[in-house]
Homo-oligomer: A and B are copies of this chain.
Amino acid sequence: MSAIRIDGATRLFGIVGDPIAQVKSPELYCELFAAAGMNAVLVPLHVLPDAFDMAMPVLMGIENIDGLIVTVPYKARAARFARRLGPTASRIRAVNALRRETDGTWSGDMFDGAGFVHAAQRKEETLRGRKVALFGAGGAGSAIGCELAAAGVVSLCIIDPQRERATALAATLHDAFPSCRIEPADALPKSVDMIVNASTVGMRQGDGMPGEIGPLDPRTLVGDVIISTEPTPLIRHAMQHGCRYINGRDMLAGQSDALMAFFVRG
Contact = CB atoms under 8 A, between A and B. Distances in A.
Interface of A: 3-10, 12, 15, 18, 20-27, 30, 41-48, 51, 54-55, 57-59, 61-64
Contacts of A20: 8, 63-64
B64 A46 contact: yes
Contacts of A41: 6, 41, 43
B61 A6 contact: no
Nearest to A15: B8
A242 B9 CA distance: 34
A22 B43 contact: no
Contact of A63 (B5, B27, B46, B59): B46
Contact of A64 (B30, B42, B45, B63): B45
A8 to B, nearest CB: 4
Nearest to A28: B7
A62 B57 CA distance: 14
A45 B61 CA distance: 10
Contacts of A61: 47-48, 51, 55
A198 B58 CA distance: 30
A24 B10 CA distance: 11
Given A41-B41, A46-B64, A47-B61, 13 more contacts: A5-B27, A6-B27, A7-B27, A7-B44, A8-B22, A10-B43, A10-B44, A44-B64, A51-B58, A51-B62, A54-B58, A55-B61, A55-B62
A47 B61 CA distance: 8
A10 B5 CA distance: 15
A59 to B, nearest CB: 7
Contacts of A51: 58, 61-62
Contacts of A6: 4, 26-27, 30, 41-44
Given A47-B63, A55-B62, A58-B51, A24 B8 contact: yes
A42 B63 CA distance: 16
Nearest to A64: B46
A116 to B, nearest CB: 20
A46 B64 CA distance: 6
Contacts of A63: 18, 20, 46-48
7 contacts: A6-B26, A6-B42, A7-B27, A10-B44, A12-B43, A45-B62, A51-B61
Nearest to A61: B51
B30 A9 contact: no
